[in-house]
Structure 1
């Protein structure tokens, strides 16, 4: 690529690429990316990620994966940002076949999952009712030494409550205490709401009373 005899480098091309995709010119951006390759410009993983992001936002996850696979054969390995964009897109759209392919690709090329990857997985599995899968991800995070926040536990606990599996929801609540993770106001709210629907048993009443005390304590702290 040359303009008025001036050689255009990868940095300049990446700026053009970003602007094309930002202006909803995805196809032009895609073509421009290949022109960069054909011109012998050393394409960076950042440029690849720009195109992958554009494709995923357009719902073209398979096309994004195909591009990444092709670039791997050309010697360009995706990074965790590239992969997380695809993971996020597939979990948001409940495209779990695509998700499996992405995770397999990450394993194959040596890109380790990070805390953001796990968050996308928990959120995606929880939102579509795959609560057991979401719980497995949370447990895997502990095994790998990642910090698991109350927010992720809340997603799974709420999922089990929606399914009517209160026993499993409380088991996870106990797991939080085992792992020294402080339940927050949402945790107690989710459990109290579910227990209140169980009827007027003594156990339910006692739990609601305990949860109300915890909620009041948290509100005092927040104020």
Structure 2
């Protein structure tokens, strides 16, 4: 560009800054921001947004806050994407009150919160036990004409499920279909986790089979949730059925699966629980052509009592 006497503008610099941010080279990104300012080029809202997002992702809230303040000092308008980037990082660090402060700032600045804004707040509240409050935000999201996605519903369903409030969790589950949102594997996992924690394995198993009938494919986390629930009840047979189902579908049990099985053998007062649990799991997996050795499941071997 220089050889052709073409002078890079703010959009070119923003593209380069964005590239360095994407690859984590934030020192170089700031160097280009400095070069941009020295040339008298005005950074855009997008320039600051990519930098703020990058610093949020590495957990440097001080720098993200500083850049956020620079946007105002430069007389630029903050957009929802910028607010969301900072809000999301505050939520991850547990500063839910800061998320609400940013939401108020958005409203005073006449920046309309979008679905992502509400999702961040809903998830933060539900994760920290403020489930009723997260439900209120979900209701506000719908009142404002936004269409909640599976993530929105799942956060609140998971919160109610964790509390053992299955009536509200199931009610929200039914609301999902009313809004044209299909529960996904994560939604099912959230509800299953609550049932297992409450020792309601009959309902957990029923939900699991409904999920299969609906065409959802369980992942390793979901299988482990259900296996752990049955093992807590000492139900080795049901746990082994699930391990066989995993193997049949090409999902290899991991150390968490194995430790759960060991705990069931301990509950049943079976001698050498770690060894016997491994033999049982190995027998199941071999039926499906899966070969494992003890080195793949080290932690459960320390449970031998």
TM-score when normalising by structure 2 = 0.57
Question: 2:161–2:195: 8 Å Cα contact kept in structure 1?
Answer: no
Q: Note closer, same or farther for the CA distance 1:217–1:63 as it changes in structure 2 (3 Å cut).
A: same
For structure 1, the residue ranges without an aligned partner over 5 or more in a row are none
Larger Rg: 2
Please state how far the C-alpha of 1:154 moved relative to its aligned partner.
2.7
Please state how far the C-alpha of 1:47 moved relative to its aligned partner.
1.1
For structure 2, the residue ranges without an aligned partner over 5 or more in a row are 217-305
Please state how far the C-alpha of 1:192 moved relative to its aligned partner.
6.3
- Cα distance between partner residues in 1 of 2:164 and 2:150: 21
After superposition, where does 1:40-119 map in structure 2 within 5 Å?
40-119=40-119
- Cα distance between partner residues in 2 of 1:44 and 1:175: 41
Highest relative contact order (Cα 8 Å, sep 6+), 1 or 2?
A: 1
- Cα distance between partner residues in 2 of 1:124 and 1:103: 13
- Cα distance between partner residues in 2 of 1:96 and 1:16: 33
The corresponding residue for 2:125 is 125
- Cα distance between partner residues in 2 of 1:209 and 1:103: 40
The corresponding residue for 1:218 is 214
Deviates more, 1:139-148 or 1:105-114: 105-114
- Cα distance between partner residues in 2 of 1:144 and 1:191: 27
Count of equivalent residues: 215
Structure 1 vs Structure 2 CA RMSD: 3.6
Deviates more, 1:168-177 or 1:66-75: 168-177
- Cα distance between partner residues in 1 of 2:29 and 2:195: 53
Q: Note closer, same or farther for the CA distance 1:3–1:57 as it changes in structure 2 (3 Å cut).
A: farther
- Cα distance between partner residues in 2 of 1:24 and 1:149: 30
